[in-house]
Amino acid sequence: MRENVVIIGGGIAGLEAAGQLASLGYNPILIEKEDHLGGHLADWHCLFPDMIPAKDVVSSLVGKASSINIFTRTEVLRINRLRDSYNVMLSNGVSVMTRAILLATGFRLFDAHKKEEYGYGIYNQVITNSDLEKWFNGNPDSRIDNSHISSAGFVHCVGSRDEKAGNPQCSKVCCITAIKQAIELKKKYPDMMVWCFYMDLRMFGKKYEDFYISAQRDYGIRFIRGRVSEVSENIEGKVVVKAEDTLAGRPVKVTLDLLVLMSGMLCNPQTLNEKATWHFPIDSDGFLKCRNTVADFNLSPQEGIFLAGACTGPKTVPETIAEARSAALSIHNWFNSKE
């Protein structure tokens, strides 16, 4: 009989690992709390830096996982350890015995309401990176006036690298996401003026630097190094942003039709810990803890528990998919070592 592997989280990490485990001869059982698969990618439009539609990535992974047992709208209620196995009880009444559990619970976005000074939920023209992706995907947003949008700004590091917001970590993907979203806006509205307000630009990935250069050279996007000090609304209903341009050494004031806050990536697994009455160790950065971050990043300190994707920290799509493949192989090797 094929060995069960319970996978918690049906984002791209969970889906990729499920497909790989099935082809290695296992019986993956995928548990997703939402009514759809794909995790955050189900809301994203095009992926940096090649602008591949996110929906194509999700549908390809869902297709590869088509023969797998998938429970959507399902949560883990309880996990019990029984000698060398786990008994996983689900909210749909199903109970699964497994020797291996893969956590692929991903991340949640920083709640931009908490940075009141940027006016999210106060001024109509202030949205988040996630809101903008949904709008690019064709979901109407009353805050974005299609007929009258000639200027936009992006605020980097919202709820990341911010001790006061409780998250000193860099969210890694939001610099390049801001550039991608700025380019997407410029493609839609070529005459638009677009500013990015940043502290540091973290262009760590393949082709990212080219993307950044292209944003300036081909799309005329302006980059201002400096923290936004004040956001307010003028009588015309536009948003006024004040910042200090630390490179030019002078204050900047711009009036915009749209301000996009680059909300950071935070850990999601805490909700799993609260609900499942089983404690998965959390690291100092708030994400799930792996055995070490060098070679054993797929292994939890707990025997038989494995990890993949953004549940251990901010990740790009290629990094997430690579980790999921690696987790499937780690699980396979671990089962072999038990024989």
User: Contact positions toward ligand FAD, by CB under 6 A?
Assistant: 8-14, 31-34, 39-41, 44, 47-48, 75-76, 104-107, 109, 129-130, 133, 173, 177, 180, 265, 268, 271-272, 309-310, 315-317, 320
Measured from the CB atom, the residue of 31 and 238 that comes closer to ligand FAD is 31
* Least Å from the CB of residue 230 to ligand SF4: 19
Binding residues vs ligand SF4 (CB under 6 A): 156-157, 160-161, 170-172, 174-175, 200, 202, 262, 264
* Least Å from the CB of residue 198 to ligand SF4: 7
Neighbours of 94 (CB within 10 A): 13
Partner interacting with residue 315 (select from ligand FAD, ligand SF4, none; CB below 5-8 Å by kind)? ligand FAD
Q: What is the DSSP string of 3-61?
A: PEEEEE--BHHHHHHHHHHHHTT-EEEEE-SSSSSBGGGGT--EETTTTEEHHHHHHHH
* Least Å from the CB of residue 63 to ligand FAD: 16
Measured from the CB atom, the residue of 79 and 262 that comes closer to ligand SF4 is 262
Instruction: Quote the Cα angle for 320-153-238, to 5°.
Output: 140
Measured from the CB atom, the residue of 32 and 257 that comes closer to ligand FAD is 32
- Between helix 317-338 and helix 12-23 the angle, nearest 10°, is 40
Measured from the CB atom, the residue of 241 and 265 that comes closer to ligand FAD is 265
Partner interacting with residue 330 (select from ligand SF4, ligand FAD, none; CB below 5-8 Å by kind)? none
Residue 75 CB contacts under 8 Å (≥ 6 apart), including other chains: 31, 33, 90, 91, 275, 276
How far, in Å, CA of 92 to CA of 106, rounded?
Answer: 22
* Least Å from the CB of residue 46 to ligand FAD: 7
* Least Å from the CB of residue 180 to ligand FAD: 6
Partner interacting with residue 32 (select from ligand SF4, ligand FAD, none; CB below 5-8 Å by kind)? ligand FAD
* Least Å from the CB of residue 115 to ligand SF4: 13
Q: Long-range contacts: 56-65, Cβ < 8 Å, 24+?
A: 57/12, 57/317, 58/12, 58/15, 61/12, 61/15, 61/16, 61/19, 61/37, 62/15, 62/37, 62/38, 64/15, 64/16, 64/19, 65/15, 65/18, 65/19, 65/22, 65/28, 65/30, 65/37
Measured from the CB atom, the residue of 151 and 316 that comes closer to ligand FAD is 316
Is the omega angle on the peptide bond into residue 49 within 30 degrees of 0, that is, cis?
Answer: yes
Measured from the CB atom, the residue of 40 and 156 that comes closer to ligand FAD is 40
Partner interacting with residue 34 (select from ligand SF4, ligand FAD, none; CB below 5-8 Å by kind)? ligand FAD
Instruction: Kindly state the helix (H) or strand (E) to which residue 123 belongs, with its residue range.
Output: none
Partner interacting with residue 200 (select from ligand FAD, ligand SF4, none; CB below 5-8 Å by kind)? ligand SF4
Partner interacting with residue 8 (select from ligand SF4, ligand FAD, none; CB below 5-8 Å by kind)? ligand FAD
121: tokens are 């939920």
Measured from the CB atom, the residue of 233 and 244 that comes closer to ligand SF4 is 244
* Least Å from the CB of residue 104 to ligand FAD: 5
* Least Å from the CB of residue 157 to ligand FAD: 13
Neighbours of 84 (CB within 10 A): 9
Measured from the CB atom, the residue of 238 and 299 that comes closer to ligand FAD is 299
Please name which of 181, 157, 156 lies closest in space to residue 48, comparing C-alpha atoms.
181
Neighbours of 152 (CB within 10 A): 27
